Amino acid sequence: MIINGTTLIKAKPINPMAADKRKKHGVSYGLSEAGYDIRINQTITLHPFRKFALASTYEDFTMPNHLVGIVHDKSTWARRGLSVFNTVIEPGWYGYLTLELVYHGWRPLRIKAGSGIAQIIFHQTQNPAEYSGKYQNQPNKPVAARDSRIDGFVSQFDQGVSA
């Protein structure tokens, strides 16, 4: 079941949480019809030659043990060639969400801090759960992959975040 409206506001998975739809830099954020539109915390400029960036959310999350959140693209950005990876926000997870952004366009794209960047759809779980993984309590900045050595390979993004 999708959790939205006043039920989502009462669950308080996000702080601060706007109880209505608002706009900043021409892109909406806040409570939407089916979920919540989150904001980006940093100004990001993407180019055809720099197609990947990490960014964090303006909002701080404290996920109740009965909710899971799924991150989806906002159509405003998708129509400009930006994809936001569809991250799962586990029940019991807390911290600032790190977003993985990929740009598919052919000219520079600037995303201003405070702009709506993605939509979270919240689902109720059948049974309460508690996340206890390596990304718990992320700070208010982009967090690079942790323990990402896969078969001896370390990606270029593991050396630091330059968003």
Residues classed as catalytic:
100
Return the exposure string of 46-76: e unless at least 16 CB atoms fall within 10 Å of the residue's CB, then b: beeeebebbbbbbbbbebbebbbbebbbbee
Bond from prior residue into 16 cis (ω within 30 degrees of 0): yes
